[in-house]
Amino acid sequence: MGMRIVADYDTCEGLGMCEAMASDYFELDDDEQMHILNEHPDEADRAHVNAAVQACPVLALRLEG
Ligand code: SF4
C-alpha cells in the first residue's frame, strides 16, 4: 500500500510551510484551509514529502508507512 500522509486538521494553523516545500502534495485554499492533494506519494517522493512534513511548525503532519 505504501506510505500515507496524515494531517491533524485541528492542529494545522494554515501556515503554509508544507505547501512551500511541496506544492505538488499540499495546497492552501483561499480560507487558508490546507488540503492534501495526494495522500499516497510514490516511494520515489519519500524524501521530498518527508521534508515538507518535517517543516510543519506545529507538527500537524506525519508520514505513515
Ligand atoms: S505547515 Fe503545518 S500548519 Fe502549515 S499548513 Fe501545513 S500542516 Fe498546516
Q: What SS3 class is residue 36?
A: strand
Among protein residues, the one whose CA lies closest to atom 8 of ligand 1 = 12
- Structurally, how many domains does the chain consist of? 1
pLDDT of residue 7: 98
For residue 16 and ligand 1, the question of a CB distance below 6 A is answered with yes
Output the pLDDT for position 3: 96
Alpha helices by DSSP H, the chain: 17-21, 46-55
Domain region containing 20:
4-64
Residue type, position 58, single letter: V
Of the candidates 14, 52, 20, 11, the residue with the CA atom closest to the CA atom of residue 32: 14
User: Which neighbouring-strand residues pair with 5?
Assistant: 63
Instruction: Please state the pTM of the whole predicted model.
Output: 0.94
Ligand 1: distance of its center to the CA of 60 in Å?
Answer: 6
Q: How many other CB atoms are found less than 10 A from the CB of residue 36?
A: 17
Determine the distance separating the centroid of ligand 1 and the alpha carbon of 18, expressed in angstroms.
6
Q: What is the CATH number of the domain that holds 22?
A: 3.30.70.20
Return per-residue pLDDT of the chain as tens, 65 residues: 799 999 999 999 999 999 999 999 999 999 999 999 999 999 999 999 999 999 999 999 999 99
